[in-house]
Amino acid sequence: MRMINRKLRLKCSSGFTLVEIIVVMVMIALLAALVGPRLFSKVGKGKQSAAAAQIELLGQALDLFRLDTGRYPTTQEGLNALVVNPGIEKWDGPYPKKGIPNDPWGKPYNYISPGAKGDYELSCYGRDGSPGGEGEDKDVFSWE
């Protein structure tokens, strides 16, 4: 008899009840709902910063191209002229050693030369890939 009661107590007291599991899951969901949006907004700002840094590095590569050749690549030659010689005698590239990166959203950078705001314009249109926008959709320009 004592042995049966002891086994019954052990069997009943082991594990969690359904109510305890639901309470823990609700607490985890509340934490995720409070912390998640704050973390995701940081990811968008990080991609904007990465795009600005890549545009700055591409601008430096364009300046090196100009120092060697005496001009910036034309719009038709594009950024590819930094990696592959477009037939210019004094070309001494490739200027970016790791090639031309896409923007953090996987799209190519926009390049225009001559630009309305300088010798060239380098930009990306953010997450949405179209002009304008706020937050992660905000455009990034070389002249800003």
pLDDT digits (tens, 9 = 90+) for 57-96: 999 999 999 999 999 999 999 899 999 988 888 888 788 8
Query: Does residue 88 form part of some domain?
Result: yes
**Which segments of the chain have a pLDDT < 50?**
none
Query: Does residue 32 form part of some domain?
Result: no
Enter the tokens of residue 126.
């953010």
- Residue-range definition of the domain harbouring residue 126: 44-141
Q: Say how far apart CA 105 and CA 129 lie, in whole Å.
A: 8
CB-CB contact of 31 with 39 (8 Å): no
Query: Does residue 78 form part of some domain?
Result: yes
**CATH value at residue 72:** 3.30.700.10
How many structural domains is the chain composed of? 1
Query: Does residue 38 form part of some domain?
Result: no
CB-CB contact of 143 with 117 (8 Å): yes
Residue 141 DSSP SS3: strand
The pTM of the full predicted model, rounded to 2 decimals, is 0.67
